[in-house]
């Protein structure tokens, strides 16, 4: 059995955190890591005890939801609340940070940003990262690593495909195979 790579491990944590998001526009998760240890996590949602987008709708001004606190800010605030230093840490985020979160990440002393998906990447944020010596790295997330029964499912689908192969046209079989390959992100 092959162990999960560190970048995928921490990005998986961020995607799991994003499932707690209460924003209906975009689900984002963030994990702060220092010395290969998770020190904080956050997701975009409302203030503790406040109204949530899933309940009251997004409160949008200038194309930004005012009701939510971004995942990165929630993770940084969690560190501040519990006295955990972020100097020299890394952050794993499901989406490229917005400009305001980028500034907070720099001010928190975080030195590396790993993100899975581009999202309105601000050229000014990129410039600020360069000025501050903060590295950014795109880490495409392999979502199937979260499926603990992936191999079992792949074997089952492969078995079904073999059963179908002699009972449908080649064109129809190719469509099924293509769909299976997309589901399991196989390049065979």
Which residues have a catalytic role annotated? 72
Distance from chain centroid for Cα 40: 15
Question: Which DSSP string corresponds to 117-149?
Answer: E--S--HHHHHHHHHHT-EEEE----GGGG-TT
Q: How many angstroms separate the CA atoms of 129 and 148, rounded?
A: 36
Q: Could you tell me the sign of the dihedral formed by the alpha carbons of 78, 82, 84, 85, in that order?
A: positive
Residue 77, number of CB atoms within 10 A of its CB: 15
């Amino acid at each position: 059995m092959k162990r999960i790579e560190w970048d995928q491990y921490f990005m998986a944590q961020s995607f799991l955190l994003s499932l707690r998001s209460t924003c209906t526009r975009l689900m984002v998760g963030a994990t702060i890591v220092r010395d290969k240890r998770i020190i904080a996590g956050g997701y975009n949602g409302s203030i503790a005890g406040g109204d949530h987008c899933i309940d009251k709708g997004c409160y949008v001004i200038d194309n930004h939801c005012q009701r939510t606190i971004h995942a990165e800010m929630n993770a940084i605030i969690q560190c501040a609340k519990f006295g955990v230093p972020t100097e020299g840490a890394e952050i794993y985020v499901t989406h490229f940070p917005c400009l305001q979160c980028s500034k907070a990440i720099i001010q928190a002393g975080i030195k590396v940003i790993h993100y899975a998906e581009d999202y309105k990447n601000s050229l000014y944020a990129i410039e600020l990262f360069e000025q501050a010596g903060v590295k950014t790295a795109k880490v495409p997330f392999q979502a199937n690593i979260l499926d603990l029964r992936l191999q079992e499912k792949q074997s089952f689908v492969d078995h079904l495909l073999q059963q179908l192969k002699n009972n449908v046209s080649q064109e129809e079989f190719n469509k099924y195979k293509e769909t299976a390959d997309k589901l399991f992100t196989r390049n065979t």
